[in-house]
Amino acid sequence: MSLILVSASPGPEGRPVGLAYPWLEASTPVAQPLAARFAPPAGCQRVPVAASSWGEWLRWLPLKPAGTKARLYNGQLKDRQDVVAAVVNIDVPPQDLQQCADAVIRLRAEYGFSHDPNKVHFHLTTGYDFWFSDFVAGRTFRVANEEVLPATRPAEAPTHAALVRYLVPTFGYAGTKSLSRELRPVPLAQVQPGDVLIHGGAPGHAVLVVDVAENPASHQKYVLLAQSYMPAQSIHVLRNIDAPALGAWFAVPGPAGAEFDTPEWTFAREELKRFE
């Protein structure tokens, strides 16, 4: 599978040059990106992001056609279609693995793979630091009595197919607890594309901030949010069912707001975190 670029040159929707979404086949029709589907709220502007950054990459995520329904890993429809504003054009593996934290891990791994596969790694719940470069070199792990032990496997080239194989045990042994520890807290007022609302626990949940807009007069910020859920399902952009006029945008609570409500989880304002 070869990398596919969003565009070879800036397109009519203003797509930046050179953003790669490695899971897409070269024959896949270029889908409408998130930034073209969701205009900022009235009077707002998207916040600046660095070229080729994690935030820019998320801003231009390819979406499936408008009206596409979110489905579970087994093909069944997600019960809560009312919370789905759009479905990201990315596959759902057939196992019940790509759940909430796993969706964040999947997208972060795909972004990392498109830039430097040797930097892709995630900590498991036990604390074990699992590197993609080790995995393809033949070094992996096994679990015995809840202890992670070194193990070997056949070495292989660092292809996208290998990344998919690496993610299966990562999804199985990482989760909201490990991802929450891996990220650093940031103030909600400083939210940026690529940040994660995350509650580490059992149960826990994670929602990814895929874009941010701001009103330059009031400085009110708004975010677009994406998630998977349980059981594993399509990664989807959330609809603001409490403020339908905002569509898929959510107003960031001010200092007096103790919580951030999303359609299927309520986070404490201290639960916004960021990748290093």
For residue 163, how many C-alpha atoms fall within 13 Å in the half-sphere facing its CB? 24
CB 103 within 8 A of CB 122: no
pLDDT of residue 235: 98
Region of residue 253 (left: phi > 0; alpha: psi -120 to 50; beta: else): beta
CB 92 within 8 A of CB 80: no
Q: Running DSSP on this structure, what letter comes out for residue 270?
A: G
Tokens of 47: 């916040």
According to DSSP, the residues that pair with 148 across neighbouring strands are: 143
Number of neighbours of residue 51 by Cβ within 10 angstroms: 9
Coil vs helix vs strand at 63: strand
Coil vs helix vs strand at 117: helix
According to DSSP, the residues that pair with 46 across neighbouring strands are: 213
pLDDT tens over the chain, length 276 residues: 334 444 333 443 567 888 999 999 766 666 799 999 999 999 999 999 999 999 999 999 999 999 999 999 999 999 999 999 999 999 999 999 999 999 999 999 999 999 999 999 999 999 999 999 999 999 999 999 888 999 999 999 999 999 999 999 999 999 999 999 999 999 999 999 999 999 998 899 999 999 999 999 999 999 999 999 999 999 999 999 999 999 999 999 999 999 999 999 999 999 999 998
Torsion sign, CA atoms 153, 159, 165, 166:
positive
Q: Which amino acid is at 2?
A: S
pLDDT of residue 146: 82
pLDDT of residue 13: 57
Coil vs helix vs strand at 186: coil
Cα separation, 229 vs 198, in Å, equals 13
pLDDT of residue 27: 62
CA angle at residue 172 from 168 to 177, to 5 degrees? Answer: 130
pLDDT of residue 200: 95
- The pTM of the full predicted model, rounded to 2 decimals, is 0.94
Cα 37 versus chain centre, distance: 17
